[in-house]
Structure 1
Amino acid sequence: MSGHSKFANIKHKKERNDAAKGKIFTILGREIAVAVKEGGPDPSNNFKLAQVIAKAKANNMPNDTIDRGIKKAAGDMGNVNYEYVTYEGYGPNGIAIIVDALTDNKNRTAANVRSAFTKGNGSIGTPGCVSFMFDKRGQIIIDKEECDMEADDLMMTALDAGAEDFSEEEDSFEILTAPDDLETVQKALEEAGIVMASAEVTMIPQNYVELTDETAIKNLNRTLDLLDAEDDVQAVYHNWDE
């Protein structure tokens, strides 16, 4: 989930993923299949696949499982029928929510996503109803404990590679790029020996909304939990200031 404390959210997601590895491995397997279909099985020539592999390793997916997924997708490319679909809607008190899914059955996914919104007292909207409240950006998060480089040197390395913004939080650094520049900046940091907690294209809220009503918070958490549990859902973005 997207929120103010980016690194805290990454750790939170990882803890949830550790508790539900079957679900995250299913998601990653689908992403591997689509990446191979779109760009081939060689990660050195397929940046999207390289990113998925990095994400899979960060979530403790075994190397042999990753390799089997790539080989299976390479030998079965004509039968990979997953497609990306995005849903937009509102949670309690008008919280904006964007849901990215990867599915082989859009009717099933749409029904499940709609149900998650409804059970949390929210509603699905039309395409574009909330996405204008978000900026699409490449986002790199670096754990301070894993980074030996001084903040100023890290900032200059990122900016020289084409990053748009650099910020420092209590426990992490955040680097923002244009979506098309993420690969270039990520490679520059890798060459500089920088370990990244995450590197992905994401949707960042322009403004965050606080919730104080306990019922609204409970309902929103219900929607987010139901979406997290849905195998077809790849990512959820919202503007709730957690």
Structure 2
Amino acid sequence: MSGHSKWHNIQKTKGAADAKRSAAFTKIAKEIIVAVKQGGSGDPANNSRLATVIAKAKAANMPNDNIKRTIDKALGAGNTDNYESVTYEGYGPCGVAVIVEALTDNRQRTAPEIRHYFDKFGKGMGAQGCVSWSFDRKGVIVISNEDEELDEDTVMMDALDSGAEDFSADGPVFEITTDPDAFNDVVAALEKKGYTFESAELEMVPQNYVTMTGEDDVKNMEKLLDMLDDNEDVQNVWHNWQQD
């Protein structure tokens, strides 16, 4: 069965995120706060958005105590955090499609910063919808098999039996794709079977990919991704750059 090789595309950026684990936890905590406030509940059984973020947090090895403290903070009467979800779309070098998902308390600060990154290292920021039409929102679960202890056929059958749409083996990892509405159920079912995840979240999956051969283009794309990753308002960056 075919996958979209998302893991191959994010290996470099994941390495950068791992080196900044504290910053990554801060961004996930912000997502938890928004999920609790918008969902009106600190119980993931009654708040599907919170359940989705908790799956992402666990896959990122965020300690359970941190997750609980963040939920309690969001439920606290004195909490004044007020973040707005904003999505920006634009083009990297060679027309690479880029989607930036942010949570911000000040659009007037965030938008110019994101626009500057696109102008300096890419081909500019576009209008809403300019590239998102070429992506599909999917649940994506990545399971590591670097120690080769897992049997590919067994994992595939467990994933499909849990309600997954697709399964692929990509080097040392297995990648499971789900319908967004089925994501939380699939995560729960696989957790009950004893699986742990390298990553688990809702993603924007490209319908097609762009490759780059020019050294300057590659450097600029990497700089663009680094700048976006370092911005405290940016939660997720999706793109269709097919890395070698």
Same fold? TM cut 0.5:
yes
TM-score by length of 1: 0.88
Distance 1:136 1:57, change over 3 A: closer
Query: 1:127: which partner in 2?
Result: 128
How do 1:63-74 residues align onto structure 2 when only pairs under 5 Å count? Answer: 63-74=64-75
Question: In structure 2, do the counterparts of structure 1 residues 146 and 202 end up closer, same or farther at CA, with 3 Å as the change threshold?
Answer: farther
2:69 aligned partner, one-letter code:
R
SS across alignment from 2:34:
helix
* Cα gap change, 1:136 to 1:147, in 2 (>3 Å): farther
Provide the residue aligned with 2:31 in structure 1: 31
Q: Deviations over 1:33-82 (max 9, x none)?
A: 11111231123433432443343344444444333222111014873421
Q: CA deviation at 1:10?
A: 5.7
In the other structure, the counterpart of 2:223 is 222
What are the equivalent positions in structure 2 for 1:230-241 lying under 5 Å apart? 230-241=231-242
TM-score by length of 2: 0.88
Matched, 1:185 2:194: no
Look up the match of 1:151: 152
Change over 3 Å in CA distance of 1:199–1:130 after alignment to 2: same
SS in 2 for 1:222: helix
Instruction: Map 1:1-16 onto structure 2 (within 5 A).
Output: 5-8=5-8, 12-16=12-16
Q: 2: CA distance between counterparts of 1:61 and 1:220? A: 29
SS at match of 1:79: coil
Q: Letter of the aligned partner of 2:219 in structure 1?
A: K
Matched position secondary structure for 2:212:
coil
Alignment of 1:37-186 (within 5 A): 37-39=37-39, 40-76=41-77, 79-145=80-146, 148-186=149-187
**Identity across the alignment (%):** 52
Distance 1:18 1:108 in 2: 26
Q: What SS does structure 1 have at the residue aligned with 2:182?
A: helix
AA of the residue aligned to 2:182: D
Change (3 A) 1:217 1:4: farther
Query: Offset at 1:8?
Result: 5.0
Structure 1 residues 68, 167: CA separation in 2 closer, same or farther (over 3 Å shift)?
same
Between 143-152 and 116-125, report the one with greater CA deviation. Answer: 143-152
1:9 offset after TM fit, Å? 5.3
5+ long unaligned stretches in structure 2: none
Distance (whole Å) between structure 1 residues aligned to residue 115 and residue 235 of structure 2: 15
Deviation at 1:119, TM superposition (A): 1.2
Structure 2: how far apart are the matches of 1:35 and 1:129? 27
1:163, 1:177 within 8 Å by CA — same for their partners in 2? yes
| Matches of 1:106 and 1:234, distance apart in 2 | 14
Correspondence for 1:18 = 18
The total of aligned residue pairs comes to: 240
- Can you give the 5+ residue segments of structure 1 that lack an aligned partner in the other structure? none
**Structure 1 letter corresponding to 2:184:** E
Q: Does the CA-based 8 Å contact 1:87-1:100 persist in structure 2?
A: yes
